[in-house]
Structure 1
Amino acid sequence: MLQVLIKYITMFVVLVLMQVLVFNQVQFSGYVNPFIYILFILLLPLSTPHYLLLFLGFFIGLTIDAFSNSLGIHAAATVFIAFIRPFVIRSISNREEDRSEYPGLKQNKFSWFLYYTFIMVFIHHFILFYLEFFTFSHFFTTFLRVILSSVFSIFVIVLSQFLIFRE
């Protein structure tokens, strides 16, 4: 139990540091902003209680907000994906036996993990960018940002599963 707790605390710290020190500095023409810190929520065990999932989503989002000076938009987007995560996992898994306790790439099929990551990252980015602008006047420009940032974030998340988070 202690070993698992240390693993997730380390993952939290590493993802926040990578997001703040590296990925917040990456911007291609203002359209591509990768957000990999949501990998923490994506990789929590399926048996994580819903209240803890929401709290951890709020905590990691608030931590990124504090470092990014972004007034709670990361917390809102991350809490929302933490809220819908159980529903998304139930909807993309055919049977109870198909689900692994750990939703990582090694424990599940590549197509399942890619679909799961795509849904969660796209929803997170959609909420994040539209809360950031708080208007639909530039809907298509913002939607292009959502798509490009989602593609880049998904690429980095899947790559991290091959290189770093091989459990």
Structure 2
Amino acid sequence: MNSNRIILLIGGFFLYLIIQVLLLKNIVVFGLAFCFLYVLYILLLPLEMKTIPIMLVAFVLGMGVDLFYDTLGMHTASLLALAFLRNSWLKLLTPTGGYDENLQPSMLNMGFGWFTYYSLPLILLHHFIFFYIDQLGTNLFLAGVQKVIASTIFVFVMSIIVQLMFYRRRRGI
């Protein structure tokens, strides 16, 4: 990875964290759908990144969100689970010829269908773990399932909008 790409990744990290804690913290649709858009940062990390560095980034990002949300590690735990399973899930989705070098797994680079198969299960996993921890010790199973489904759909739609507005397709060399 070149130095420009590292600077972009660090800048993106802080941008996602700041937007999450300042703008998206209080956005809740119909009392069910929460906007945890910071998940998109982990999903869009380069394909060649190994699991341990991704987990370290996820830990710091999750702790940053937890610090501002006062959630005692719920975001960190769910984001670490997503980061741990991300590369394994990518291996299952690898095409026959493999992926191009230095490719970002975005919808614009890979296509809508591929991005849906890639991101939707990981977002669902993140939200399931987060809301499971949130509902632990209560009998609110149905409310938790509703929040998981509504938030997953909301974050998926928001991730598509963000990619269409702010990301560019990788040009061939």
Q: TM-score if structure 2 supplies the norm length?
A: 0.90
Indicate whether 1:119 and 2:121 are aligned: yes
How far did 1:96 drift?
4.4
Q: How many Å separate the matches in 1 of 2:120 and 2:36?
A: 13
**Residue in structure 2 matched with residue 11 of structure 1 by the alignment:** 12
Q: Distance in 1 between matches of 2:97 and 2:127?
A: 29
Give the residue type in structure 2 aligned to 1:21.
Answer: L
1:155 to 150, 154, 157: 157
Q: Is the 8 A contact 1:44 1:103 kept in 2?
A: yes
Q: How many residues are matched?
A: 167
Q: In structure 2, what is the equivalent of residue 27 of structure 1?
A: 28
Q: 2:82–2:126: 8 Å Cα contact kept in structure 1? A: yes
Root-mean-square deviation (CA), in Å? Answer: 1.5
Task: Report how far residue 73 of structure 1 moved.
Answer: 0.5
Task: In structure 2, give the amino acid aligned to 1:144.
Answer: Q
Residues 24 and 35 of structure 2 are in contact (CA less than 8 Å); yes or no, is this contact kept in structure 1? yes
The answer to whether the 8 Å contact 1:93/1:99 transfers is no
Instruction: List aligned pairs for 1:52-131, cutoff 5 A.
Output: 52-97=53-98, 101-131=103-133
Give 1:147 deviation, angstroms. 0.3
Alpha-carbon separation, structure 2, partners of 1:25 and 1:82: 25
Q: Identity, % of aligned pairs?
A: 28
Q: Which runs of 5+ in 1 are unaligned?
A: none
Relative to structure 1, the CA distance from residue 137 to residue 57 in structure 2 (aligned partners, 3 Å threshold; closer, same or farther) is same
Which moves more between the two structures, 130-139 or 148-157? Answer: 130-139
Q: Decide whether aligned partners of structure 1 residues 124 and 99 sit closer, same or farther in structure 2, where only a CA change above 3 A counts.
A: farther
Poorly superposed stretches of 4+, deviation over 3 Å: none
Counterpart for residue 138 of structure 1:
140
Unaligned runs of 5+ in 2: none
Report deviation, 1:4. 0.5
TM-score (norm 1): 0.93
Q: Indicate conservation of the 8 Å contact 1:114/1:158, yes or no.
A: no
Contact 1:122 1:147 (8 Å CA) reproduced:
yes
State the shift of 1:17 in Å: 1.1
